[in-house]
Structure 1
Amino acid sequence: MPPARKTRLPVRKEPGAPAPTRTTAEPRGDLPPAADLRRTVVIEAIAPNVDGGRYPVKREVGAVFEVSADIFKEGHDVLVAFLL
């Protein structure tokens, strides 16, 4: 995966002045068309759960418990999941 590209926009010179805008979009030659970026991600068998996921699981603050899920998607790209 190519590194993220950083773009800097001009800053307003005076408070209350409208912010400058960029009028032209730069095409990215290293990205496939938008249709190729849409992928299906499936998350199943989440545990622990209460009543099939209808209610949140409750624990004491600081209690350690294991969370598991089956996560997959189409294609051969690397898949990473974060627990928030």
Structure 2
Amino acid sequence: MNLSDINAFAILEVPLKSKTNATILYNALLPETESISSDRAISKISLKDSILIVQIEANDLTALRASLNSYTAWIEACISTLESVDKS
């Protein structure tokens, strides 16, 4: 996919309790950005202090929505796991 094919994009900024938690989440999601599961959307993740930033570029809204749904589900699962570990 090249940039001329991009018709939709989104940026998610996820503030976390600590930079450690942000790094854990970053490392958990990184393999998803390195594997090519679709030629309709690409994603990049980065960290800014304790904020995880997910950038998704897609060539249509359906692909963007599917990627957003996947990332939000993965992020929710990771945060839930981190909160469970913090309680123990």
TM range (shorter): under 0.3
Q: TM-score, normalised by structure 1?
A: 0.23
Structure whose CA Rg is larger? 1
Which protein has the bigger helix share?
2
Which protein has the bigger strand share?
2
